[in-house]
Structure 1
Amino acid sequence: MSIKVDHFLRRQLPGRCVFCLGITDRERPWCKDCFVALPWNLPACPRCAEPLPGRPEARLCGRCLRHPPSFECSRVPLRYEQEVARLVQRFKFEASPRAGAVLLALLEAGLPETALAWPEALVPVPLHPRRARERGFDQGEWLARRLARRLELPLVRAQRRRDTPTQRGLDRDERRRNLSGAFVIEAALPQRVVLVDDVMTTGATLGSLAVACLAAGAGEVEAWAIARTPLQES
Structure 2
Amino acid sequence: MSTSARKEVDGWLGRALPGRCAFCLAPLLDGFPWCEACFAGLPWNVPACPGCGEPQPGAEAGRRCGRCLRRPPAFDRARVPLRYAEEVAGLVQRFKFDASPRAGKLLLDLLSTGLPADVTAWPEALVPVPLHPRRARERGFDQALWLARRLGRRLDRPLVRATRARDTPSQRGLDRGERRANLRAAFCVPGGLPGRVALVDDVMTTGATLGALAVACRRAGAREVEAWAVARTPLHDR
User: Given the two structures, how large is their TM-score scaled by the length of structure 2?
Assistant: 0.91
Q: Which residue of 2 aligns with 1:79?
A: 83
Q: Which residue of 2 aligns with 1:88?
A: 92
Query: 2:139 matched to 1:169?
Result: no
Q: Which residue of 2 aligns with 1:160?
A: 164
Q: CA deviation at 1:186?
A: 1.9
Query: 2:43 matched to 1:34?
Result: no
Q: CA deviation at 1:232?
A: 3.4
Q: CA deviation at 1:188?
A: 1.4
Match of 1:122 among 110, 121, 126: 126
Q: Is the 8 A contact 2:29 2:36 kept in 1?
A: no
Q: CA deviation at 1:226?
A: 0.2
Structure 1: give runs of 5+ residues left out of the alignment.
Answer: 1-10
Alignment of 1:1-234 (within 5 A): 14-24=18-28, 27-232=31-236
Secondary structure of 2:230's partner? strand
Q: Is the 8 A contact 1:46 1:58 kept in 2?
A: yes
Secondary structure of 1:232's partner? helix
Q: Is the 8 A contact 1:52 1:58 kept in 2?
A: no
Q: Is the 8 A contact 1:179 1:208 kept in 2?
A: yes
User: Given the two structures, how large is their TM-score scaled by the length of structure 1?
Assistant: 0.92
Separation in structure 1 between the aligned mates of residue 65 and residue 205 of structure 2, nearest angstrom? 15
Q: CA deviation at 1:101?
A: 0.4
RMSD of aligned Cα (Å): 1.6
Q: Which amino acid aligns with 2:82?
A: L
Q: Which runs of 4+ in 1 moved over 6 A?
A: none
Structure 2: give runs of 5+ residues left out of the alignment.
Answer: 1-13
What do the CA deviations read for 1:203-232 (whole angstroms, capped 9, x no partner)? 000000000000000010000000000113
Point out the more displaced range, 179-188 or 103-112. Answer: 179-188
Q: Percent identity, please.
A: 70
Secondary structure of 1:146's partner? helix
Point out the more displaced range, 13-22 or 102-111. Answer: 13-22
Separation in structure 1 between the aligned mates of residue 93 and residue 109 of structure 2, nearest angstrom? 16
Q: Is the 8 A contact 1:15 1:25 kept in 2?
A: no
Q: Which amino acid aligns with 1:144?
A: A
